[in-house]
Amino acid sequence: MAHEHWMRRLPRRYQTIPDPASFFSTLGEEAAAEIAQLWPELSGQGPPGEEYLARVGRFNMAKMQAEGRVLAAGPPGPGTGGRRGGDGGPRADGLDGRGERCRS
């Protein structure tokens, strides 16, 4: 998904990548690791006696929210030290790379 997007929408930036296969493989692995770390936090603790399907739904929603946050943050930008979200600062909507309000 990201590979095709960069080829079509960011051709100049794409051309600066020395090894696209390795770059996008690493990018995907990093995104998957961030999602795996974030979704348990988002799922929280279920209520006592939570039924199986309710728990599965809560976990699925948390995973989708984690995916959305990681993908919305975008790939690391130039000079960000590997942090996602372009220039590393708050986004225009006042959220950080995890979709949470930035603290002043």
Residue 7 lies in a domain: yes
Residue 66 lies in a domain: yes
Range of the domain at 57: 2-73
Domains of the chain: total: 1
pLDDT in tens, 66-96: 999 998 887 764 434 444 554 334 444 444 4
Residue 80 lies in a domain: no
Instruction: Please tell me the predicted confidence (pLDDT) of residue 2.
Output: 82
Q: Which bin fits 74, alpha (ψ -120 to 50), beta or left (φ > 0)?
A: left
Residue 99 lies in a domain: no
Instruction: Please tell me the predicted confidence (pLDDT) of residue 89.
Output: 40
Amino acid at site 23: F
Distance of CA 100 to the CA centre of its chain: 12
pLDDT in tens, 17-45: 999 899 889 988 999 999 999 999 999 99
Q: Which residues contact 67 (CB under 8 A, 6 or more apart)?
A: 35
Instruction: Please tell me the predicted confidence (pLDDT) of residue 84.
Output: 52
Residue 43 lies in a domain: yes
Residue 84 lies in a domain: no
